[in-house]
Amino acid sequence: MIIFKTAAALNSYIQKAKEQGQSVGFVPTMGALHQGHLSLIRQSKINTALTVCSIFVNPTQFNNPEDFKHYPINREKDIELLIGQDCDVLFLPGLQEVYPVNHQKTQYDLGQIEVLLEGEHRPGHFQGVCEVVDRLLSIVSPDQLFMGQKDFQQCMVIERLLSFSGRSGKVQLNIGPTLREADGLAMSSRNTRLNVDQRRAAVIISESLFKIKDLFGTTSIEELEASAMAALINAGFAVDYVSISNPKTLMPVHDHEQPAIALIAASLGSIRLIDNMLLD
């Protein structure tokens, strides 16, 4: 695996690979890698000739400075894990490489999804996500982009970014399934911050989603949401939302129209976790 720390060196390496006809797959991450990330690397390896992973903890997408400060970092282990997957290229830029002095801030028009769910509870978050992904896409110019359903709303935002930045036909977004721990908890870099009691309690998020999925169609939407909310609060969570939504618009659904998606965001202390499950 080749590690690049500058945008210029990576960009020229990739341009040469593309001139030789190689297709490029890209997996952007914030590091503290787990099997969920690695599943995306594997998908990229299967589907493209050259797999590029980036690790960059993007300050502009953190609406909460404490979350940014405590975001887990484990570079040596990350590098070992990527070598284990035979990842071809790792981009490990510093702040100046991603946001050079001449970097122009853009206001991205994300429409309704920017003010719903994650957008409502993390103001500015998706602008920061678009800013970093837009810049990384310019540096890497991949043919295929690999992201996880775990961040369902983020995938919708990126789909939109691809379309209004004129990359729709050029970059294909592939959405990988959410990988889970044995008890069902969605893998997340933030899980490493949970203490033993919090880790035990955290399983209630996925349990609530599985329960909603089981009862969807036989119990009212309001009851499903209220019962998941009560279970989360009972387990010690501060809940941002439990929402059964339309997966195309993220607007709440009120009857058992298909398809639908259940989404949860909730915090244990300062650790905020999200998960979702398609209900069709």
Annotated catalytic residues are 37
Nearest alpha-carbon partner for 145 in 21, 241, 40 = 40
Q: Compare residues 186 and 253 and give the one whose CB is closer to ligand AMP.
A: 186
Name the maximum alpha-carbon separation found in the chain: 58
| Residues within the interface to ligand AMP (CB under 6 A) | 29-30, 36-37, 39-40, 147-148, 150-151, 176, 178-179, 186-189
Which residues lie below 8 Å from residue 194, measured CB to CB, with a gap of 6+? 202, 268, 271
Kind and range of the H or E element at 75?
helix 75-84
179 vs 253 by CB, closer to ligand AMP: 179
State the nearest-atom distance from the C-beta of 268 to ligand AMP, in Å. Answer: 17
Q: β-strands 261-268, 238-245: how paired?
A: antiparallel
By beta-carbon proximity to ligand AMP, the closer residue of 142 and 148 is: 148
Number of helices followed by number of strands (H, E) in the chain: 10, 9
Residue type (1 letter), 50: L
Q: Which of 126, 186, 189, 124 is nearest to 160 (CA)?
A: 126
Smallest gap from residue 189 Cβ to ligand AMP (A): 5
Q: Closer to ligand AMP at the Cβ: 206 or 221?
A: 206
Shortest CB 158 distance to ligand AMP, Å? 9
